[in-house]
Each structure stands twice: as structure tokens, then as C-alpha cells.
């Protein structure tokens, strides 16, 4: 596993390597090298299976973090390739030419985070949300509670508690 990463380190600029588990390594690469690293891992290092492609919204840094998890079925090891992309103009190179199923992940990211993957098949078609006219719902500046209250006719009379305060009062009543 480590020897395989040494190969990549010589070829590409790798920002960070974290050994998360004995069979999972997280590597962080710049945006422009991501597809090259993923292609290299697939073609030369035996990571033939794409497990998933997902995103995290780091709103404080104004970035999206994309994670490509790849699996080597022969050695039974995973590698997660992570990259940071700009949040305002969220565009990433598509990898549907490497794995066809990546197009579905990219379609989902386009809808839920608003990350565009130009050239990916059917990327602009609605995936789960039909006729959505708000900001993409998985962005952290989208207030799902407020949207639900404005849209879906909430039934009055529901009591809600702040989870933190409620657990405090239940578990440590003396400190209140």
C-alpha cells in the first residue's frame, strides 16, 4: 500500500497523506491533479472499483471538499482521494469516462450541492428533486427547517427541544 503511494508521490504533487486504517489511506491532492491521480490509481495501481464520490461543504473556508473512494479488490485496500474546490464557482472535471456510474454521483452532486461537472451525461436533468427552485439543499447555508415550515403546512402544537440543553438537563440536573 505505502509502496504504491510512493509511486504517486514521485509523479504528482500530494499535499497530505493520512493512514486512517490499515486498509484505508486518505490523500489530498490539488484540484488540477485529481483526475490524473485517480486515472493513475485505476490504470497502474489496481484500484479498479469506484466506491463513491461525495462532497463536504466547508462553508467557513468557502470550499467544497470532493472525496473519491477507490478500492483495490485484489489487495483489499481503499484509497480516498480528496480535493478542495472553490465554492462560488463549483466546477470539477467529470470522471464518467473512467467509470460510467460516476455520472450518477455527479448528477446527484450537481443537484444537492450545485457542483457542476461539464460533459457528464444527463447532469442537468432532475435526479431526486423535481422542479427545485431554491439553492441546492445540501449547501450549509440552506435552512431546511425554515424551508419546511414555509412550504409544507406544519401542524401546530409540536414541541421541540434544543438537543444540547435537553440532554444537559436530563443527564446533569444538578448543574442547572
Partner 1 sequence: MEKRTVISPEGESFEVDPMKDYFCDARPKVYEPVLPIVEKFLNWARSESLWVLGFGTGCGAIETRPLMTPRFDAYRYGIQWRATPRQSSVFIISGYLSVKTLKRVVRTYEQMQNPKFVMALGSCTINGGMYWDSYNTINRLDHYLPVDVYVAGCMPRPEALLAGFDMLKKRIREGKGEGANLYAENFDWYKANQKKIIKDWDMPDYNW
Q: Please give the residue ranges that form the binding site for partner 1 (CB under 8 A).
A: 126, 128-133, 137, 142, 144-145, 147-149, 151-155, 158
Q: Give min distance, CB of 87 to partner 1, in A.
A: 19
Nearer to partner 1, 58 or 147 (CB): 147
Alpha-carbon span 79 to 1, nearest angstrom: 9
Q: Which is nearer to partner 1, 46 or 137 (CB)?
A: 137
Q: How far is the CB of 88 from partner 1 (least distance, A)?
A: 22
CB-nearer residue toward partner 1: 118 or 131? 131
Q: How far is the CB of 81 from partner 1 (least distance, A)?
A: 30
Contact indicator for 49, 70 with CB cutoff of 8 Å:
yes
Q: Round to whole Å and give the CA distance between 22 and 91.
A: 33
Q: Which of residues 42 and 139 has its CB atom nearest to partner 1 in the complex?
A: 139
The nearer residue to partner 1, 10 or 144, going by C-beta atoms, is 144
SS (H, E, C) 55-78: EEEECCCCEEEEEEEEEECCCCEE
Show the cell assigned to 162: 434544543
The distance of closest approach from Cβ of residue 114 to partner 1 in the complex, given in angstroms and rounded to an integer, is 14
Cα–Cα distances (Å) from 9 to 15, 19, 33, 152, in that order, read: 9, 15, 12, 51
Q: What are phi and psi of 76, to 5 degrees?
A: 55, 50
Smallest separation (angstroms) from partner 1 to the CB of 155: 4
Amino acid at each position: 500500500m505505502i509502496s504504491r503511494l510512493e509511486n504517486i508521490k514521485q509523479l504528482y504533487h500530494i499535499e497530505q497523506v493520512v493512514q486512517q486504517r490499515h486498509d484505508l489511506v486518505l490523500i489530498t491532492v490539488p484540484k488540477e491533479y485529481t483526475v490524473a491521480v485517480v486515472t493513475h490509481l485505476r490504470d497502474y495501481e489496481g484500484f479498479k472499483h469506484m466506491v463513491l464520490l461525495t462532497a463536504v461543504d466547508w462553508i467557513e473556508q468557502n470550499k467544497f471538499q470532493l472525496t473519491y473512494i477507490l478500492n483495490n479488490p485484489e489487495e483489499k485496500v481503499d484509497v480516498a482521494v480528496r480535493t478542495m474546490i472553490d465554492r462560488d464557482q463549483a466546477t470539477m472535471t467529470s470522471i464518467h469516462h473512467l467509470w460510467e456510474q460516476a455520472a450518477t454521483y455527479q448528477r446527484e452532486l450537481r443537484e444537492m450541492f450545485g457542483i457542476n461537472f461539464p460533459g457528464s451525461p444527463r447532469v442537468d436533468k432532475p435526479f431526486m428533486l423535481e422542479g427545485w427552485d431554491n439553492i441546492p439543499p445540501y449547501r450549509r447555508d440552506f435552512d431546511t427547517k425554515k424551508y419546511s415550515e414555509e412550504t409544507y403546512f406544519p401542524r401546530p402544537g409540536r414541541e421541540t427541544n434544543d438537543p444540547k440543553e435537553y440532554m444537559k438537563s436530563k443527564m446533569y440536573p444538578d448543574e442547572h
